[in-house]
Amino acid sequence: MIGNLISVGQRLSGRNDPRLAYGIACSAAEGLFAAALYPLIYLLLREVEAGAVTTHSAGLYALAMFACVMLRIAAGRIAMPMLFSAAYALMGEARLRVANHLRRLPMGWFARQRGGDLSARLTSDLELVEHLWSHFLGVFVTGLTMPICLMAFLFWIDVRMALAALAGLPPALLALWWTQRVVGQPGERLIAASASVQSELLEYVQGIAVIRSFGRFGDAWQRLLRKLDEQHAALVAVESKPTPWLVSYGFLLEAGYVGLVFAGVWWLSAGTLSALVLVSFMVLVLPVYRQLFDVGQAMLMLRFSRRAMSRIEELLTEPVLPEPASALPPQGHDIVVDAVHFAYEGAAEVALRSVSCTFPARGLTAIVGPSGAGKTTLVHLIARLWDVQAGAIRIGGVDVRDIGSHLLHRHVAMVFQDVVLFSGSVRDNLRIGCPDASDDQIVAAARRACAHDFIEALPQGYDTVLDEGGASLSGGERQRLSIARALLRDAPILLLDEATASVDPSGEAEIQRALAELARGRTVIAIAHRLHSVRHAEQILVLDGGRLVERGRHEELVQQAGVYARLWERQMQARRWTLAASGAH
């Protein structure tokens, strides 16, 4: 069992730590020295009974007992720091491995996960495994070593009495085995309920603005209460269902002690057992039973934790995007999409159907079309957030799958519609684009992104710590920080996923100027719903229903009277309606 715990933990961390084995050895030594005290007491009492004790021998026994106590303390002082440092180092490595593995998973995997369940695996499940390694291993090894050593000594004293002491152990172990079986299903239920509660709480907190605006406090609150009730019921089941069997385990151990006393008294009355041996067994068997009961409880905790460990291992077994054995650098920055086909897992409709097109180097190509046409899917495939299911995407003549993710991301930068900002200073958020950027480079990028002025107006300027997600900033300010981040990255290919869709018209002009600065000299692919913002693009691709239906410049597409012309006309009508309404007012 201990070996299984160690092997699982080492698989999670991906390496061994010699401090772990050393700490376990010291814990075993601590149990040995704790057990050694009792034989010394027995031997001293035997000499007292025989009248052979002397001042010299009593002093030697006292010195030996004192040495056992000191050695036990020394072993414990060495074992605990070793186990703690090894456990925290290995679990820290496990967290890094899991995070790095998640970074290489296709984005479709995240779409299938509930945020709370993934959060539970990365926090509570990992913390449980870490707690077992740091607090459980040493206690378990010490608690198991001590009764084993004591029982070996008791067998040396009297085999009959030792066997009588162990008579209650087989039925007790059977009760413990059944207790572990009973706790299995409630444990699974509790883990699932806890993950569901985390998901519901995350959804409730993130959606609090929508809940308030629509006055749906009752529905959301009742849904959260139901999840909390399910967790409460699962917690009660985990505590209550195995309790009778755990009590039976303790009762059978105690019944063994009663049987030992009766057997000892019987043999004592028959003259085949000395009073000293009987008293010694009655005293020494008690710590054995106490330690065995504690070990039994610890085994229940280990059984409960196995599911947590397997849930973390499941993350590490999820297939990642395959990487080439040797990454091939692109020989240019033109992009060719060759008969690409893609469908999301579980989706009824195909996202892209045999799409073929070319994005010229150092040019601006716009991708337009109605909602659900496949625009974002195509851009994400170019960035290799997913892999195509048929066809190929080549950058500079090299398939993106042969370039490798690390090298590909050095050539491609993205500006998303929904800007992600992390808790930390403005400077730290900008440095995500280039961790080695100097302060002068950061300021220069912010100026080019039209972000320097509003950053300087913040309370601590570039050192201002942002709220989670940059909630204290406007949509336009967040977007300009995202553009400054992309400028620092200085990638030759730029992917814009509707970068101005959620920005008010007053801020759109500044963002358009920042984007123009960002696009200079780069291969730019821009998804756009506002067609007037990309009407000067060198090439416009029109997607509809996952197919490429039109391509050309703005003037050509308007004359074709197709999908693009209809979209353009609708937007022009909306603009004229807005202007007319403003004039009437």
Total-model pTM: 0.67
Q: Quote the strand ranges of 289-427, DSSP E.
A: 335-342, 352-359, 364-368, 390-395, 398-399, 412-415, 424-425
Same fold, 2-316 and 335-584: no
Other beta carbons within 10 angstroms of residue 289's beta carbon come to: 20
Write the burial class of residue 385 (CB in 10 Å: 0-12 exposed, 13-18 middle, 19+ buried). Answer: middle
CATH topology of domain 335-584: Rossmann fold (3.40.50)
Residue whose token pair is 């698989």: 11
**How far is it, in rounded angstroms, from Cα 144 to Cα 293?**
10
Write the burial class of residue 297 (CB in 10 Å: 0-12 exposed, 13-18 middle, 19+ buried). Answer: middle
Question: Which DSSP helix (H) or strand (E) runs through 496?
Answer: strand 493-497
**How far is it, in rounded angstroms, from Cα 426 to Cα 468?**
12
- Nearest by Cα to 526 from 537, 514, 513, 517: 537
Q: What is the DSSP letter of 134?
A: I
pLDDT at residue number 116: 62
For 151, residues 6+ apart whose C-beta sits below 8 A from its C-beta are 162, 165, 166, 288
- Nearest by Cα to 42 from 277, 226, 297: 277
DSSP, residue by residue, 36-79: HHHHHHHHHHHHHHHT---HHHHHHHHHHHHHHHHHHHHHHHHH
pLDDT at residue number 113: 66
Cβ atoms 246, 297 nearer than 8 A: yes
Write the burial class of residue 205 (CB in 10 Å: 0-12 exposed, 13-18 middle, 19+ buried). Answer: exposed
Which pair of structure tokens corresponds to residue 144? 């198991």
Angle between the N-to-C axes of helices 55-103 and 137-157, in degrees from 0 to 180, rounded to the nearest 10: 140
Domain ranges of the chain: 2-316, 335-584
pLDDT at residue number 212: 64
CATH number of 2-316: 1.20.1560.10
- Nearest by Cα to 429 from 486, 384, 502: 486
Q: Are strands 493-497 and 465-466 parallel, antiparallel or unpaired?
A: unpaired
pLDDT at residue number 398: 93
**How far is it, in rounded angstroms, from Cα 343 to Cα 96?**
31
Q: What is the mean pLDDT of each run of 10 residues along the chain (585 residues)?
A: 65 79 88 88 82 83 91 90 84 83 78 67 75 75 86 88 84 82 74 74 69 63 80 79 79 81 87 85 83 75 70 81 86 92 82 92 89 88 88 92 86 80 85 85 86 88 82 80 84 78 56 69 84 83 92 89 86 64 51
Buried b (16+ CB within 10 A) or exposed e, 159-170: eebbebbbebbe
